[in-house]
Structure 1
Amino acid sequence: MGSCSFLSVFFIYCFLSISLCLAEDPFVNYDFEVSYITASPLGVPQQVIAINGHFPGPTINSTTNNNVVVNVHNKLDEELLMHWSGIQQRRSSWQDGVLGTNCPIPPKWNWTYQFQVKDQIGSFFYFPSLNFQRASGGYGGFIINNRPIIPIPFDTPYGDITILIGDWYTRNHTALRRALNAGKDLGMPDGVLINGKGPYRYNDTRVPDGIDYATIEVHPGKTYRLRVSNVGISTSLNFRIQNHNLLLAETEGSYTVQQNYTSLDIHVGQTYSFLITMDQNASTDYYIVASPRFVNESLWQRVTGVAILQYSNSKGKASGPLPDPPNDQYDKTFSMNQARSIRWNVSASGARPNPQGSFRYGSINVTEVYVLRNTPPVMINGKRRTALSGISFVNPNTPIRLADQYKLKGVYKLDFPSRPLTGPPRMETSVINGTYRGFMEIILQNNDTKVQTYHLSGYAFFMVGMDFGEWTENSRGTYNKWDGIARSTTQVFPGAWTAILVSLDNVGIWNLRTENLDSWYLGQETYVRVINPEATNKTELSIPDNALFCGALSKLQKPQDISLAAPILGIGSKLFFTVLMVTYTLISL
């Protein structure tokens, strides 16, 4: 055999081997054009943020270990960042899409996010994280399916349906932002949207004529998986479907012990997936309802989201009163007990074949404890602000992760207090110094008057305790150390606390915030910095080639480079292409 023939066979062998290896982690690609459109979800024309001309945006559909590539074209008149809520970018906070880690995408620019949904499954959503933009839309669902070799703990549903619910104002995000900057409350929302549409006209006096509503079509006798996210601004919502049970199966990447609910409270930023069997007769359609919680019903009657569940053989329109919500406006015990009832399915496999309960979080020693207390908005330096533990966070001009990369001094302080400050609140860029591979206990104490939900980027944490009153050291005796749900967003009721445990195994700079947009915008957030002290131990992905620069590093920013802004080939794709070309060349000799 000639040397060229031998080399040809050798490279073909390499090509086939690499192809087989790379086939396990394929790429899924999306192109997002983020722009303004005019829409009338509540019957009033207004400016809405759309993706590819649609509101809400498309659902990202991926599978465990996929490499997700999203090329974002910013057609807005202001800066933009897209955040992937609940997606744990392993070793790459560079892709998180929040101001502490990324410089914003300038208007008329495009920027490509690339990350791997490593060892994850579940239901999530994405949204624009800057400047209150989520209040005008720009959001969509994000699904991570399990790999076929890993069984799911229920029969494969007939269909998969994404439902996005949230409170909505007919003022756009810039008007709402101006109100907050002027020290005002946002006031009562104008309605609740379901999949970007207003309420079905279930009541002629409360719902104006001519409003478009969402219709979800189903087949009788079939079971569907409904993934429901509260993408709203600040209102907790009760979700229910007339005459149908909601069998809870998963939340934010964890399979739950399966329990039936007639309704479930979904707080801002949370996602649940339910199994729903279409076991009712088709004499009529059925109401799908998302109604505000813990508010004065007589004032908020018009602020109710109503969509339609329509059987394929339906014989008539939905009729009659809406199904009742829980009757506990002034007593949140029912809702808290409901939250406590959600348990981790420790026998189900998640993204890997081992059971979820194989990580025995209850037996791990806690290495650091942080008590984070919020309060109602206060005046700081003449501005109305919110705070955590007496610190109202100020985003630096240079993102924290970028400052670390270039060893800039004075951008932030690693002095966030482990206990609430006793003096007057202050505005600071103060960050939690997390210990790599440590096990952190965080107590979220809500001294505000409304429900707050808290989210930690880059991680799933264990929700181990929740109760009314002030947390004390003795409260640990009530912790669930066996099957507390693992998730990325948890509610904290007013005058109450929630305790979470998190294993700090993901290096990077990770946002810890309230999901309530008004409180977040006014400063109720911080970051957890998790750095591997061993310089030779490579645990974080390198800064991406297309990184944007701003603040003190603005001089490093080059003009828009289309070759870097376009979807990035992963190393596997580049190697695949190289081997292919070499093989072709040798065969041609």
Structure 2
Amino acid sequence: MLIKAFAHFLRDILCSCRLCMSSFRATKEIPLLHFRTPRVDTFMVGPEFDSLEEQNLGGTISDRMRPAIFLHFFFGTLACLSLLCVIAEDPSRYYTWTVTYGTISPLGSPQQGILINGQFPGPTIDCVTNDNIIVTVINKLDKPFLITWNGIKQRKTPWQDGTLGTNCPIPPNSNWTYKFQTKDQIGTYSYFPSTLMHRAAGGFGGFNIASRSVIPIPYPIPVEEFTLLVGDWYKSSHKALQAKLDSGIPLPLPNALLINGLPSGSTFTGEKGKTYKFRVSNVGISTSINFRIQAHTMTLVEVEGAHTVQSVYDSLDVHVGQSVAVLVTLHATVKDYFIVASTRFTKPVLTATSFLKYAGSSTPASEPLPIGPTYQIHWSMMQARTIRRNLTANAARPNPQGSFHYGTIPIQRTLILANSATKINGTLRYAVNGISYVNPATPLKLADYYNISGVFKLNSIKDTPPSGPAVFGTSVIGTTLHDLIEIVFQNNETTLQSWHLDGYTFWTVGFGSGQWTPDMRRRYNLADANSRHTVQVYPNSWSAVLASLDNKGMWNLRSAIWSRQYLGQQLYIRVWSNETSLFTEYDVPDNALYCGKAKRP
């Protein structure tokens, strides 16, 4: 009887919360957007409850339970109010972004750029773990447009990911509002356009998530933070670059590097003896960079949402799509110093500079610039192996980062993905395991949700590289929620690759030269491998990652090198569970756009 009473007590609390949330769901006072509490599908305590009927979930409280009616109501209401109070602690941040073309001259000559609220680069989003982010994007371009949030996991909200596999693009002279939560995340990220070659024209910006005040960070709070968006740049317009690719011509090397939209001149000012955080993201479309500060060392503290072992570096490689955060203490003589970014693995080497200015300085920065690595692939791989996860630090939650022992979990599936440059019908394409991806007119996520046939076929791509010529296809790999998968990126080309997975971070457990074999697993770091959302794969080499599939959705796995993504080097991973529950995924949003075969219900 005691067990049954407790079961009914918990049942009533859940039902009270559900009813309470249903009543308040439509109000504007609660920053929940379209979120709601999950439906209770089953409830079981002990072997005596074999069905919903036996649990009496839909009936009346028995006579023996009548003395507890008041307590049930009281505690149920209290739990509901407590839930609302907890929810109300997560603030909402509202943004309205108008996306337009505008004339910019980063290299001295006017060219067409993509501006957000008239800015190039776009505005930086600064928020806190679990904040609700509401961004209304007004598209004033002449083409459909989407923004993707690079590294934001979109837990329960795959509808907000901003790729053509999850969203219909925003038509010209129209708008759409993204609504998502920075759920259980901290760190340094970026955003950029995911449509066409828009990314080569701008529309990108920083996205920084600070820790909640109740979660300590594993280093003294810096005096100030600086966001540096570093990326390659072309003199040609994004439309001209796209036309080249459409005609089967590969893109040449970029013309320059930019730091915050300028090849030189950006200035960051600090006081001697103080420590500052530099958040550095590679927002380019094709080129790895090396970052360094004249006469100063950098302490790496975070990579794409994970606190790292605090190693000290003179310079750091940051590959396309990646982000890092470093601490810099101003310990040198009071003057100005060069901040330098230079390209990796290119001939010629391109360089961009900014300035670290000491407060009170009247002495300009002086050459020579600090020398960085240029084509030393082994040097870069060795540095990558030194970046390790801080196991004792808390990240977004109070539990230590090392509390999840990924290295002890059996691998359910191995994917070996080989990129290739190929020709299909005589035209340049890029492929993964022999499939060059083609975006269907209907987003995969909508097709999956509404069971629309003829859009994609699960597992149309092989788990290992096949022989034979490449073909066009819409590649979707089917996986199961909560599985641990191993992904081996095999690069048999002579150029460096950069791979990004939406919705997740993965553990970068291994890098190596040549062909991967199962014996390579003996070299994996199964204790404190770094976790991140984008991993580099060196020429004629492999990189191996482990991913715990804890986020239901349809997630884009793509080349971060945008010309390769545009011409087919991408696929989607469907993370699926037969359970329909708001614990794992929210419903399609009311404001969802529909296109292709997907029609508004």
* TM-score calculated relative to the size of structure 2: 0.85
Structure 1 segment 181-192 matched on structure 2, within 5 A: 181-192=246-257
Matched letter for residue 507 of structure 1: K
1:70 is aligned, of 130, 135, 158, to 135
- Hey, what does 2:145 align to over in structure 1? 80
In the alignment, structure 1 residue 37 sits paired with structure 2 residue 82:
no
Distance 1:403 1:381 in 2: 28
- Hey, what does 1:409 align to over in structure 2? 453
Distance 2:545 2:128 in 1: 27
For the structure 1 residues 368 and 14, does the alpha-carbon distance in structure 2 shift closer, same or farther, using more than 3 Å as the test?
closer
1:259 is aligned, of 295, 308, 311, to 311
1:109 is aligned, of 162, 174, 180, to 174
Q: Percent identity?
A: 51
Distance 2:538 2:262 in 1: 29
Matched letter for residue 299 of structure 2: L
Asked whether the equivalents of residues 245 and 563 of structure 2 are also in contact (C-alpha less than 8 Å), the reply is yes
Distance 2:163 2:245 in 1: 20
* TM-score calculated relative to the size of structure 1: 0.87
| Offset at residue 277 of structure 1 (A) | 0.5
- Hey, what does 1:246 align to over in structure 2? 298
Structure 1 segment 552-563 matched on structure 2, within 5 A: 552-553=597-598, 556=600
In the alignment, structure 1 residue 285 sits paired with structure 2 residue 359:
no
For the structure 1 residues 315 and 542, does the alpha-carbon distance in structure 2 shift closer, same or farther, using more than 3 Å as the test?
same
Structure 1 segment 214-233 matched on structure 2, within 5 A: 214-233=266-285
| Offset at residue 536 of structure 1 (A) | 5.8
Matched letter for residue 268 of structure 1: V
- Hey, what does 2:385 align to over in structure 1? 340
Structure 1 segment 436-585 matched on structure 2, within 5 A: 436-535=481-580, 538-553=583-598, 556=600
- Report the secondary structure of 1:556's partner residue: coil
Structure 2 segments unaligned to the other structure (5+ residues): 1-76
| Offset at residue 75 of structure 1 (A) | 1.1
Provide Cα deviations, 1:525-544, integer angstroms capped at 9, x if missing partner.
Answer: 00000111124675210000
For the structure 1 residues 537 and 218, does the alpha-carbon distance in structure 2 shift closer, same or farther, using more than 3 Å as the test?
closer
Matched letter for residue 198 of structure 1: P
For the structure 1 residues 346 and 14, does the alpha-carbon distance in structure 2 shift closer, same or farther, using more than 3 Å as the test?
closer
Asked whether the equivalents of residues 292 and 316 of structure 2 are also in contact (C-alpha less than 8 Å), the reply is yes
In the alignment, structure 1 residue 399 sits paired with structure 2 residue 431:
no
In the alignment, structure 1 residue 55 sits paired with structure 2 residue 120:
yes
- Hey, what does 1:99 align to over in structure 2? 164
For the structure 1 residues 18 and 467, does the alpha-carbon distance in structure 2 shift closer, same or farther, using more than 3 Å as the test?
closer
- Hey, what does 2:425 align to over in structure 1? 381
Distance 1:278 1:79 in 2: 46
For the structure 1 residues 28 and 37, does the alpha-carbon distance in structure 2 shift closer, same or farther, using more than 3 Å as the test?
same
Distance 2:321 2:495 in 1: 15
Asked whether the equivalents of residues 250 and 428 of structure 2 are also in contact (C-alpha less than 8 Å), the reply is no
Q: CA RMSD in A?
A: 1.7
| Offset at residue 281 of structure 1 (A) | 0.9
| Offset at residue 188 of structure 1 (A) | 2.0
Asked whether the equivalents of residues 514 and 540 of structure 2 are also in contact (C-alpha less than 8 Å), the reply is yes
Distance 1:185 1:314 in 2: 46
Aligned residue pair count: 525
Provide Cα deviations, 1:173-223, integer angstroms capped at 9, x if missing partner.
Answer: 111100111111221211100001123xxxxxxxxxxxxx21112222111
- Report the secondary structure of 1:533's partner residue: coil
For the structure 1 residues 461 and 261, does the alpha-carbon distance in structure 2 shift closer, same or farther, using more than 3 Å as the test?
same
| Offset at residue 355 of structure 1 (A) | 0.5
Matched letter for residue 317 of structure 2: D
Distance 1:126 1:110 in 2: 18
Matched letter for residue 174 of structure 1: K
1:359 is aligned, of 393, 397, 404, to 404
Matched letter for residue 293 of structure 1: R
For the structure 1 residues 545 and 279, does the alpha-carbon distance in structure 2 shift closer, same or farther, using more than 3 Å as the test?
same
- Report the secondary structure of 1:365's partner residue: coil
Matched letter for residue 25 of structure 1: D
For the structure 1 residues 430 and 13, does the alpha-carbon distance in structure 2 shift closer, same or farther, using more than 3 Å as the test?
closer
| Higher normalized contact order (CA 8 Å, seq sep 6+, divided by chain length) | 1
- Hey, what does 1:574 align to over in structure 2? none
Provide Cα deviations, 1:48-81, integer angstroms capped at 9, x if missing partner.
Answer: 1111111111111111111111111111111110
For the structure 1 residues 341 and 319, does the alpha-carbon distance in structure 2 shift closer, same or farther, using more than 3 Å as the test?
same
Distance 1:535 1:473 in 2: 36
Provide Cα deviations, 1:421-469, integer angstroms capped at 9, x if missing partner.
Answer: 1111111002111111111000001112211111100011100000111
- Report the secondary structure of 1:551's partner residue: coil
- Hey, what does 1:577 align to over in structure 2? none
- Report the secondary structure of 1:338's partner residue: helix
- Report the secondary structure of 2:185's partner residue: coil
2:328 is aligned, of 269, 273, 276, to 276
- Hey, what does 2:239 align to over in structure 1? 174
Distance 2:552 2:171 in 1: 27
Matched letter for residue 354 of structure 2: A
- Hey, what does 1:324 align to over in structure 2? 371
Matched letter for residue 371 of structure 2: D
Distance 2:582 2:212 in 1: 30
Distance 2:88 2:456 in 1: 42
- Hey, what does 2:68 align to over in structure 1? none
| Offset at residue 383 of structure 1 (A) | 2.1
In the alignment, structure 1 residue 349 sits paired with structure 2 residue 349:
no
Asked whether the equivalents of residues 226 and 278 of structure 2 are also in contact (C-alpha less than 8 Å), the reply is yes
- Report the secondary structure of 2:320's partner residue: coil
| Offset at residue 314 of structure 1 (A) | 1.0
| Offset at residue 144 of structure 1 (A) | 0.8
Distance 1:101 1:381 in 2: 28
| Offset at residue 318 of structure 1 (A) | 1.0
- Report the secondary structure of 2:245's partner residue: helix
Asked whether the equivalents of residues 206 and 227 of structure 2 are also in contact (C-alpha less than 8 Å), the reply is yes
- Hey, what does 1:568 align to over in structure 2? none
For the structure 1 residues 40 and 533, does the alpha-carbon distance in structure 2 shift closer, same or farther, using more than 3 Å as the test?
same
Distance 1:54 1:245 in 2: 31
- Runs of 4+ in structure 1 off by over 6 angstroms are 12-16
- Hey, what does 1:161 align to over in structure 2? 226
For the structure 1 residues 538 and 308, does the alpha-carbon distance in structure 2 shift closer, same or farther, using more than 3 Å as the test?
closer
- Report the secondary structure of 2:244's partner residue: helix
Matched letter for residue 160 of structure 1: E
| Offset at residue 321 of structure 1 (A) | 1.4
Distance 1:13 1:91 in 2: 26
- Hey, what does 1:390 align to over in structure 2? 434
Which shifted more, 529-538 or 467-476?
Answer: 529-538
1:294 is aligned, of 345, 351, 360, to 345
Matched letter for residue 92 of structure 2: F
- Hey, what does 1:564 align to over in structure 2? none
- Report the secondary structure of 2:431's partner residue: coil
Provide Cα deviations, 1:118-160, integer angstroms capped at 9, x if missing partner.
Answer: 1111110001111111111101100111111110000000001
Provide Cα deviations, 1:265-293, integer angstroms capped at 9, x if missing partner.
Answer: 110000000000111111x3111111011
- Hey, what does 2:355 align to over in structure 1? 308
Which shifted more, 28-37 or 463-472?
Answer: 28-37
Distance 1:497 1:163 in 2: 29
